[in-house]
Structure 1
């Protein structure tokens, strides 16, 4: 049994896709398919039902996936223990993050990390909030980065940042020239906000409800960038993390107005499986992200799902 084939199979099983698994490993789709086929030939049974879309595991495939996933986790744990005797880190480090976390901040830290640890292959993938949690629970990622992190059950959380929430408005909005506004002044304003199933939206609704303020929901989107573009053209106001508005503030396309009587923050955190120690490479990358060098870097233009 080739360990690489097992890794590829587990990736296909987790993602329910040969193409996505191949992309994650930097391989061609045919190579990924051949790896799974080799395992099926050796075992004498099909592991994946290729007639279904998305792909589905057979009964044998589910048993094999559960066992191999635990096997790979054990191997990585042993390798990590061995690496403690050396200053040189190596291996693969998988990180999954929500899009709105601040792309430049995370990617700059990873570039710096890889310069210091060239033998570590860091794979960064962006997903929806639920997708980040699922990738961690499925052992597809060593850790994830989310907002309003849930800490409990099979998930453990390491706090990272608290981003101040402000009122984002277009340059012609009546709040644009104000130094600050009160929460009560938001009553009746048209709100451009996140989809109702996202944690950020649920928290915004909770804040407004606690303040006994009702805003008129004008539009709902699943990503920060679309919300900002909608507000730029004069479609009401939004309540967003201030660090994600730096580019627009600098260009004058949006104004970020602080709240005078509320302290609302969006927490960011690192999540990983409870009772499963982070590998050393993951610990080092988190330490780097928490350092002063990678705080409040201006985010680039990118479409991202909120969380």
Structure 2
């Protein structure tokens, strides 16, 4: 049985959109044409692929399997087109970069600016979410390359260390602990901590570090933004364990200070991610090579 890839493409759009009407809009064809295409494909494979309901469509077990393969097929098709454009000397196209928040807000902006200067014909799309969401976007084939600061949990994703990031405990300059010249983790037991949300790679690294030192935060304020965490701490509310790189500006002007906690030095790898079954396209390979070379300078 040879699958009709035109029909598979229409099926994949409907599966992504969750309805025939939205699938028709995205595919730029009529809804009756979409319905006919799905019926022909189901007849071809001999098994239902979609279940229709008032709330839209739901993939059957067979539909889920086909959609997984369809994503791989069309990603490979895009990669082949990109490689052929590169061989013709065309440097255009779009590179979709996903990054967890700390990397997107602090590490990537100067890198993206310099990369764009070298490859101005290449359109760049940068998406920033927490590590958990970036992993899912990569698994859904919605990113070409990803950069995260947290551990990776899915066996379809390959991680490669890009650079190392140091985390430090910061407080407002007028915090009661700010004048201490020597502190230990035990001195922080009663502190209020300003922390990232669950699903954040930063939070996962911090929780592991605190657990290793038998330190448990008792009072927390949860904020899903490193920038907002720094501002909150600088305003006098609690402590935070943040990337030294991300806090350097506010440390330099005296809004934040680094507490000298002798037994709480935390470092973490910043990782480049890609799918194991998906070769990087020429644009993603070029960007990865560029940021790795920049990290060594």
Q: Aligned-pair distance for 1:73?
A: 1.6
Q: Does 1:248 align with 2:240?
A: no
Q: Which deviates the most, 117-126 or 274-283?
A: 117-126
Distance 1:292 1:226 in 2: 28
Question: Structure 1 residues 262 and 42, CA, compared in 2 at 3 Å: closer, same or farther?
Answer: closer
Give the greater-gyration-radius structure (CA): 2
Question: Structure 1 residues 61 and 121, CA, compared in 2 at 3 Å: closer, same or farther?
Answer: farther
Q: 2:33 aligns with which of 32, 41, 60?
A: 41
SS in 1 for 2:214: coil
The aligned counterpart of 1:209 is: 211
Question: Structure 1 residues 105 and 147, CA, compared in 2 at 3 Å: closer, same or farther?
Answer: closer
Q: Aligned-pair distance for 1:63?
A: 7.4
Q: Aligned-pair distance for 1:231?
A: 1.4
Alignment of 1:135-214 (within 5 A): 135-150=137-152, 153-178=155-180, 181-214=183-216
Question: Structure 1 residues 252 and 141, CA, compared in 2 at 3 Å: closer, same or farther?
Answer: same
Structure 2: unaligned runs, 5 residues or longer = 39-49
Distance 2:116 2:237 in 1: 42
Question: Structure 1 residues 261 and 289, CA, compared in 2 at 3 Å: closer, same or farther?
Answer: same
Preserved contact between residue 189 and residue 216 of structure 2 (Cα < 8 Å): yes
Q: Does 1:278 align with 2:280?
A: yes
Preserved contact between residue 95 and residue 142 of structure 1 (Cα < 8 Å): yes
Q: Which deviates the most, 220-229 or 42-51?
A: 42-51
TM-score, L = length of structure 2: 0.76
Distance 2:157 2:185 in 1: 34
Structure 1: unaligned runs, 5 residues or longer = 18-29, 296-307
1:78-136 deviation line (CA, Å, top 9, x unaligned): 23443564554332221111222142532332233233223322221122322211111
1:216-274 deviation line (CA, Å, top 9, x unaligned): 22322232223223212222111111111122223322112343234311321111101
The structure with higher relative contact order (CA 8 Å, sep 6+) is: 1
Question: Structure 1 residues 90 and 219, CA, compared in 2 at 3 Å: closer, same or farther?
Answer: same
Preserved contact between residue 159 and residue 267 of structure 1 (Cα < 8 Å): yes
SS in 1 for 2:94: strand
Preserved contact between residue 136 and residue 142 of structure 1 (Cα < 8 Å): yes
The Cα RMSD (Å) is 3.7
Distance 2:113 2:14 in 1: 27
The number of aligned residues is 280
TM-score, L = length of structure 1: 0.74
The aligned counterpart of 1:21 is: none
The aligned counterpart of 1:27 is: none
